[in-house]
Amino acid sequence: MAVHDNTAAAPPRTAFYNDPVIRGIIYQVLVAAAVVAFLGWIVTNTAQNLAAQNKSTGFGFLWETAGFGISFTLFPFDRSSFYWQAFFVGLLNTLLVAVIGIVVATVLGFILGVARLSSNWLVARVATVYIEIVRNVPLLLQLFFWYFAVLKAMPAVRESYQLPLNIFINQRGIIVPRPLPDAEIIWVVISAIAAIIGAIVLVRTAQRQRALTGYYSPAIVWAGRIASAILAFGLAYLGTVLVSTFIPVLARFGTLPLIVGVATAALTFSAFSFYGRVFVTFLLSWAVAVFLLGGMFALPEVAVIGLALVLALGVVWSMLVSDRLPQGAEAKLPWALPILVMVGVPAFVYWVTGANLGFEVPVLERFNFKGGLQLVPEMVALAVGLALYTAAFIGENVRGGIRAVNKGQTEAAASLGLKEGDRLRLVVIPQAMRVIIPPLTSQYLNLTKNSSLGAAIGYPELVNVFMGTTLNQTGKAIEVIAITMLVYLTLSLTTSAFMNWYNARVALVER
């Protein structure tokens, strides 16, 4: 009788180093050990070289007297200040041009991106020419252009160009009135912040109501109508007063601004509210154009008024020929309401508290201006150059994002009766943001890091002040470079984290 062995054959044994898991762990350990050894070698070698040169290490130099001055600072700094104060001067100057550049470049970039897709041939071509020229010229060359060819070519102090609102431009920069707030203005600032938060909450609540029910609540609709009437009255009253300043005949009728304001406010409750907005726009455009043309050009008064009238009529004509499909009040967000909240609340607090916001007007003396706030040409050239250069790239990002939205989305929005501006704002841009934001983050990072080119035109930013003057005087190359690298790394990671958070907020959610 045959005997069968039922014992299963054991799998063949393999060496532990042939196990993929074990082998992966071994590789990671070896790589980590190599990196640690390399860093250790760098530290040891650096320490030996410093010891051979009798150089010490440490950050104690930050509390030593700097002994140099800085041309542009946001807080008091002189030769008796410390190196850590010089570091913060450079950091704040870098953040200043970075924030200004990001804001201006974002606004201008979105305008350029939309303009490139405009059906108007001239607008589209102008935007294309701007983008293609600016983004293909090196940034450093553009900074040289704005600094040497534009700002340094301005007239001397005594022949300064005078702009409206007591703003002067000359070789030494731009001189603007200095704000002089009193102690009570803090309550106005607090109320303004609270009003902005309240307006945001109001808008989000109204939009949530619209998403749930399909229309805004009657309270929001009527509050929006009343807010529209109040804003229409105020703007029409202001526009009539401004126009009366250069047309003396109108100034003889003292009650004319009041009558015009009441009539314009009444139009907001009728089917002709659009024409009330057109009339207000005409008044304000005419007054602003007269103000700007009269301050910038030495022209006869009649010529200034005539040219301003032509510009105002052009603005009005663009409004009249625009796409304005009728919409019910229940279908439109009453933007006048949050605007009135953001403007009215601080204005009311300003009046109640008796706060005073004065301005120190610059006055030309024998050799220079006295008073006011001077913006040095280095800062202006760097901010303008960074903003215009980055805006060209942002414009292309916006154009690509809009192109990525399916054309059927625009057609569907048009079939629902949305105006052209509403189609872009409510349908196209929200979907395009998922494509725009990732490259937009890179442009923000590039702008912040490109601010270091300000050293080429003498702007006292972080690299110029800290890695330049401070490093040369102290000889602390490792410490200074490490701090500077850490600053730029922190700024980049902070910007990326914020933009990633915003990208997650606007990302499309699958349902």
Each residue's pLDDT tens digit, 149-207: 888 888 888 888 877 778 888 888 888 888 888 888 899 889 999 999 988 888 888 88
b/e string for 437-450 if b means 16 or more Cβ within 10 A? bebbbebbbbbbeb
Predicted model pTM: 0.77
Task: Read off the DSSP letter of residue 426.
Answer: I
φ, ψ at 161 (rounded to 5°): -75, 130
Q: How many CB atoms lie within 10 A of CB 7?
A: 6
CA distances from 164 to 14, 104, 303, 306 (A): 86, 21, 18, 19
Please indicate whether residue 387 or residue 17 has the higher confidence score (pLDDT).
Answer: 387
CB contact set of 48 (below 8 Å; sequence gap of 6+): none
CA distances from 207 to 196, 197, 509 (A): 17, 15, 18
What residues pair up with 179 in beta bridges, in sequence order? 359
Quote the crossing angle between the two packed helices 336-353 and 185-213, to the nearest 10°: 160
- Using an 8 Å Cβ cutoff, are 151 and 173 in contact? yes
Task: Name the 3-class secondary structure at 67.
Answer: coil
Task: Read off the DSSP letter of residue 64.
Answer: S
Out of 66-80, 265-279, 405-419, the most confident range is 66-80
pLDDT at 110 over 90: yes
pLDDT at 329 over 50: no
Mean pLDDT over 32-60 rounds to 82
Q: Helix-strand-coil percent breakdown of the chain, rounded to 5? A: 70, 5, 25
Alpha carbon distance 393, 384 (integer Å)? 15
Mean pLDDT over 93-104 rounds to 94
State the chain's mean pLDDT as an integer: 84
pLDDT at 272 over 70: yes
What residues pair up with 369 in beta bridges, in sequence order? 364
CA distances from 57 to 60, 84, 151, 466, 496 (A): 9, 16, 42, 17, 33
pLDDT at position 325: 46
When mean pLDDT is compared across 203-212, 246-255, 348-357, 378-387, the lowest value belongs to 246-255
Alpha carbon distance 478, 471 (integer Å)? 9
Out of 62-71, 155-164, 330-339, the most confident range is 62-71
Mean pLDDT over 76-91 rounds to 91
